[in-house]
A and B are shown apart, each in its own frame.
Chain A
């Protein structure tokens, strides 16, 4: 059974600082890994998708790396802004099922 862990559970940083969010998973036989953003009471917004054959993906200020053999992914958010405040979820896919971590709640202070 796939177990996904996200550390830290919460993070508070001043505006402008870089964010580093960690995700680890127990079963390395994954198809892909997705990072999502969830705002309070809202749905999930997909940020990045990394296929199992890839090492990283970049979109704007976001960069995600994947080390499948060690079961880890890291999401980097450069030059954080107050609008980045949200919960970030990591999800791994073993075939069609997504297994989610509990999330990291980020607060960026102005």
Chain B
């Protein structure tokens, strides 16, 4: 059973470009979470998605950031018009459906975004 997959592992973008980060959850998992780890800071929750639904995006910056988890295909975290402050490691996690009770989240290897 393959783990959570993220690609690309490293992404370099110039200021003003768009960044697309992909996450394929573990087989059988329908819940996806995105977290961001800024340099010298802890991981912070960004968004929680189920298939075709955004459940909680309270940790997402209000502008330029969006996330989706379509019926088919991976979850996408999209950052438009990137700025240097977006440089960070972005981690995706997945969990099986478990109602409101929290279950263990399994993390992917992360995408390290560098904005030049």
- Give me the interface of A with B, judged by CB distance under 8 Å: 4, 31-32, 34, 36, 41-46, 49, 89, 91, 93-103
Given known pairs A96-B48, A97-B48, A99-B45, the reply for A43 and B100 (CB within 8 Å) is no
Number of A-B contacts (CB under 8 A): 59
Would B102 and A44 count as touching, CB distance under 8 A?
no
Sample (19) of A-B pairs whose CB atoms are under 8 Å apart: A32-B104, A34-B105, A43-B110, A44-B43, A44-B91, A46-B106, A89-B43, A95-B102, A96-B55, A96-B56, A96-B102, A97-B45, A97-B48, A98-B35, A98-B105, A99-B45, A100-B35, A102-B41, A102-B42
CA distance A100 to B93 in the complex (A): 14
Which residue of chain B lies nearest to A41 when distances are taken between CB atoms in the complex?
B112
Beta-carbon contact of B91 and A43 below 8 Å: yes
The residues in B between 86 and 116 inclusive whose CB is less than 8 angstroms from any CB of A are: 91, 93, 95, 100-102, 104-110, 112
Known: A31-B101, A46-B107. 13 other contacts (CB 8 A): A31-B102, A34-B104, A34-B105, A36-B107, A42-B109, A43-B110, A44-B43, A96-B33, A97-B45, A98-B105, A99-B45, A100-B42, A102-B41
Q: Are A96 and B42 in contact (CB under 8 A)?
A: no
Q: Size range of the interface on B?
A: 20 to 34
In chain B, positions 11-50 with a C-beta closer than 8 Å to chain A are 31, 33, 35, 41-45, 48
Complex contact A49–B42 (CB within 8 A): no
The residue of chain B having its C-beta at the shortest distance from the C-beta of A99 within the complex is: B45
Q: Which of B60-81 contact A (CB under 8 A)?
A: none
Residues of B within 8 A of A103 (CB): 42
Query: Is the pair A96, B41 in contact by a Cβ cutoff of 8 Å?
Result: no
The residue in chain A whose Cβ has the minimal distance to the Cβ of B40 is: A102
Q: Are A44 and B55 in contact (CB under 8 A)?
A: no
- Bound-state CA distance A31–B95 (Å) is 14
By CB atoms of chain B within 10 A, which of A44, A45, A93, A95 has the most? A44
